[in-house]
Amino acid sequence: MSKILFKNGIVVNSSKSKKLDLLVSGEKIIKVAPKIKETSDMEVIDCKGKYLFPGFIDGHTHFDLSVAGTTTIDNFESGTKAAVSGGTTTIIDYGTQYKGETLEEGLKNWLKKAKDGVSCDYGVHMSISDWNEKAKEQVSLMIKEGVTSFKLYTTYDIKLEDKDLFEAMQEISKHGGITGVHCENDGMIAALRSEVRIEDNNKVKMHPLTRPDVAEAESVNKIVYYTENSGCPYIAVHVTNKKALDELKIAKDKKLPVYVETCPQYLYFDDSVYNGKFESASKFVCAPPIRKKSDSEYLWKGIKSGLVDIISTDHCSFTMKQKELGKDDFRKIPGGVNLVEYRGILLFDAVMKKKIKLEDMARVLSENPSYLFGLYDKKGFLKKGYDADIVIINPKKKTKLSIKNQVSKSDYCLFEGKTVNGNIENVFLRGQKIVESGKVVNEKKGMYLKRKKYKKI
Ligand SMILES: [Zn+2]
């Protein structure tokens, strides 16, 4: 079996980063030690001055998803290729059980989307939009099939009413599952969106005003109480603001099984992006919306303090032409942003700027997602016995973020022209080199992951 020795690099994990050698045989890491003697059967990669991270896990993607009368431009094929180019070696996509379907059918339909090949390993969460006896019965089946995480919505047409939401959480809890919940108060949003004056229909700046932070915080608060009563572990997905985060802090202080996810769009931008011309403002339309500068600063503090557990992307990408579906009515703009390939290097840049530590980065991108999404037996750590998913970052180089280098099929880049510190040079997926000098060189090597039950962080 082919062996690769990664020499002299700094191996990053959440407790302490150290200069260590790392030996891979086939798909697995077989040894990590201060000095590993090289033998003639090894390929040697000198990583002096570079950082070795465990492959990043993105627990929140939407590939090949129908939204607002159109379909995301990235499917599993292009989306996972974009993911690996940015060091993400595992994604977990939100599969959906639509109305009238069983959970089993929802899962089957989702797995078909990967039929043309995927470039990173992948799992599926199950979004439940139709809660009934059959769905209740199939929660345990999903978990047996390795779909150990679910998603529930409090808004959109796939939302569950309170009774169904609570019952679903009870059932998921009973079988050792975990659920992400999209939290926004549906009634409040519906009222605010119906009050918009006709002359304001084409103004994107109405988007954040009609989905305010309090609508999110109120809904988060409700789900925290559902967690307290059902015992169901809850991931507050894409948390955007201080008020919601404060609710979650209270829950965490009470030692409830509550976890916090945020995404780069809420860390790197503020709501001024919604002012100005449609062409620029519509690119940033996502739900919940991007908030105030003070909110993003609060989120950064939350990463440092450990309040934020994971950073995912909520990648849900469109072209400008698709965004134009809402040119005359901001409510019809397909919501979502294109980030799956940028998350790793953006956070590394934050490390270089001393906003967070190297160890924080390993925690929120690899280790915590590995626990929450049941991958802790093979992914998220650079340790003996784990999959050889390895990201090599050169801190001396820089990366220019631009549509010119973009792998996603979207035709714009939210960070156009921005130069960040560090460069993701090489990426390995289960021992195979899939990215070399920043370019994807080996496609469609990803495989489906049956996941274990979540582990408490
Ligand atoms: Zn999402």
Q: What is the tens place of the pLDDT at every residue in 18-60? A: 999 999 999 999 999 999 999 999 999 999 999 999 999 999 9
Q: What is the tens place of the pLDDT at every residue in 422-438? A: 999 999 999 999 999 99
Q: What is the tens place of the pLDDT at every residue in 132-186? A: 999 999 999 999 999 999 999 999 999 999 999 999 999 999 999 999 999 999 9
Confidence (pLDDT) at 411: 98
Average pLDDT over residues 115-120: 96
Q: Which H, E and C letters describe the chain, residue by residue?
A: CCEEEEEEEEECCCCCCEEEEEEEECCEEEEEECCCCCCCCEEEEECCCCEEEECEEEEEECCCCEECCEECCCCHHHHHHHHHHCCEEEEEEEEEECCCCCHHHHHHHHHHCCCCCCCCEEEEEEEECCCCHHHHHHHHHHHHCCCCEEEEECCCCCCCCHHHHHHHHHHHHHCCCEEEEECCCHHHHHHHHHCCCHHHCCCCCHHHHCCCHHHHHHHHHHHHHHHHHHCCCEEECCCCCHHHHHHHHHHHHCCCCEEEEECHHHHHCCHHHHCCCHHHHHHHCCCCCCCCHHHHHHHHHHHHHCCCCEECCCECCCCHHHHHHHCCCHHHCCCCECCCCCHHHHHHHHHHCCCCCHHHHHHHHHHHHHHHCCCCCCCCCCCCCCECCEEEEEEEEEEEECCCCCCCCCCCCCCCCEEEEEEEEEEEECCEEEEECCEECCCCCCCECCCCCCCCC
Average pLDDT over residues 86-105: 98
Confidence (pLDDT) at 92: 98
Average pLDDT over residues 382-395: 98
Average pLDDT over residues 255-264: 98
Going from the Cα of 94 to the center of ligand 1, the distance in angstroms, rounded, reads: 8
Indicate the pTM of the whole model.
0.98
Give the start-to-end residue ranges of the domains of the chain: 3-53+387-410+420-440, 56-372
- Confidence band, pLDDT 50/70/90 cuts, at residue 241: very high
Confidence (pLDDT) at 217: 98
Confidence (pLDDT) at 283: 98
Average pLDDT over residues 441-448: 98
Going from the Cα of 339 to the center of ligand 1, the distance in angstroms, rounded, reads: 12
Going from the Cα of 151 to the center of ligand 1, the distance in angstroms, rounded, reads: 9
Token pair 């379909």 is found at 71
Q: What is the tens place of the pLDDT at every residue in 359-377? A: 999 999 999 999 999 999 9
Confidence (pLDDT) at 55: 98
Confidence (pLDDT) at 1: 72
Confidence (pLDDT) at 406: 98
Confidence (pLDDT) at 19: 98
Taking alpha carbons only, the member of 385, 393, 399 closest to residue 430 is 385
Going from the Cα of 50 to the center of ligand 1, the distance in angstroms, rounded, reads: 33
Residues recorded for the chain: 457
Average pLDDT over residues 256-274: 98
Going from the Cα of 182 to the center of ligand 1, the distance in angstroms, rounded, reads: 8
Distance CA 179, CA 267 (A): 23
Distance CA 109, CA 158 (A): 17
CATH of domain 3-53+387-410+420-440: 2.30.40.10
Going from the Cα of 317 to the center of ligand 1, the distance in angstroms, rounded, reads: 11
Going from the Cα of 61 to the center of ligand 1, the distance in angstroms, rounded, reads: 7
Handedness of CA 140, 141, 147, 151 (dihedral sign): negative
Going from the Cα of 418 to the center of ligand 1, the distance in angstroms, rounded, reads: 25
Going from the Cα of 68 to the center of ligand 1, the distance in angstroms, rounded, reads: 14
Question: Is the model's pLDDT at 214 over the cut of 80?
Answer: yes
Return the CATH fold of 56-372.
TIM Barrel (3.20.20)
Confidence (pLDDT) at 130: 98
